[in-house]
Amino acid sequence: MTGATIARTGPDHRAAFPAATFGDVLRSEWTKLRSVRSTFWALTVTVVLGIALGAVISAAAAHGYAKFSVSDKLSWDPTGVSQSGMLIAQAAIAVLGVLYISSEYSSGMIRTSLIAVPKRGRVLAAKSLIFAVVTFVVGEVTCFAAFFVGQALISGHAPHAALGDPGVARAVAGGGLYLIALAVLSVAAGALLRHAAAAIAAMVAVLFVLPGIAQALPDSWRNPVTEFWPTQAGSQLTSVHIAAHSLQPWPGFGVMCLFVAIVYAVAWTLLDRRDA
């Protein structure tokens, strides 16, 4: 039963088939992403945490607004309050991005993948691009939904923001762009470190631990760290009000993108050179 059915045409010459393209690898990586359950769950967590946490914090802050001190009222940022959930939602994106590639290492799938696509840079590029696009769509939906839900809960209790206010549309839409950079960073970290635990730990350190430690440093050290730390700098894009010792939105996002590009380049080089 075996032989005849396989050899429809028999062994061919190279001219008989088209060369595989980057588009082929993109389709392949999209299939990989959508065909495991962890993708659905991580994205659900992102959306739900992003919106729900933002809503709870918005409602709580708005109700406390009347008792705020004058200086607290002056620094009241209804946009930022409605986006509070993103702090946690970004962790879900980082974990999913790391797992997207590190689970191929832990299962051995990476060898099957690299035999199918020996031009390894394409695998990393396709994974990064697919995950960036998915993250962008999910991120923008979450940010805008969280904004509208949050403002609805705030209005009537405290001053609320509108998309037409200066900097607000940029700050809300910037959430999706910030998550794109984070998505590429987490895929690159997964490719670089190859173990899920190590790569997730590295992402948590970059996102939460090191900025936290910086808060304990004396001002002369803390200010440059908070100003230029990649994720801190990048998150300026999502802020309406620019605090002291922080970069402007787009230069800040540029610093983060530069950092991501460096990590990506190192991951690409090692993926290409290391035995798989």
Contact present, 192 and 263 (Cβ < 8 Å):
yes
Cα angle 171, 173, 179 (rounded to 5 degrees) comes to 100
Of 8-16, 144-152, 231-239, 262-270, which segment contacts another protein by CB under 8 A?
8-16
Nearer to another protein, 76 or 100 (CB): 100
Q: Specify whether the backbone of 53 is left (phi greater than 0), alpha (psi in -120 to 50) or beta.
A: alpha
Q: Which of 44, 75, 112, 269 binds another protein (CB under 8 A)?
A: 112
Residue 25 near another protein by CB under 8 A: yes
Q: State in angstroms the smallest separation of the CB of 262 from another protein.
A: 25
Cα angle 218, 220, 225 (rounded to 5 degrees) comes to 90
Residue 219 near another protein by CB under 8 A: no
Among 139, 140, 147, residue whose Cα is nearest residue 77: 147
Q: State in angstroms the smallest separation of the CB of 187 from another protein.
A: 16
Alpha helices in the chain (DSSP H): 3-6, 22-34, 37-64, 70-74, 78-82, 86-107, 109-116, 120-154, 168-193, 196-204, 210-215, 219-228, 230-234, 249-273
Contact positions with another protein (CB under 8 A) in 113-152? 113-119
Site string for another protein, 85-104 (x = CB under 8 A): ------------------xx
Of 106-114, 175-183, 201-209, 235-243, which segment contacts another protein by CB under 8 A?
106-114
Q: What residue has token string 């190279």?
A: 14
> Which residues are at the interface with another protein (CB under 8 A)?
2-3, 5-12, 14, 17-21, 24-25, 27-29, 31-32, 35-38, 103-104, 107-109, 111-119, 273, 275-276
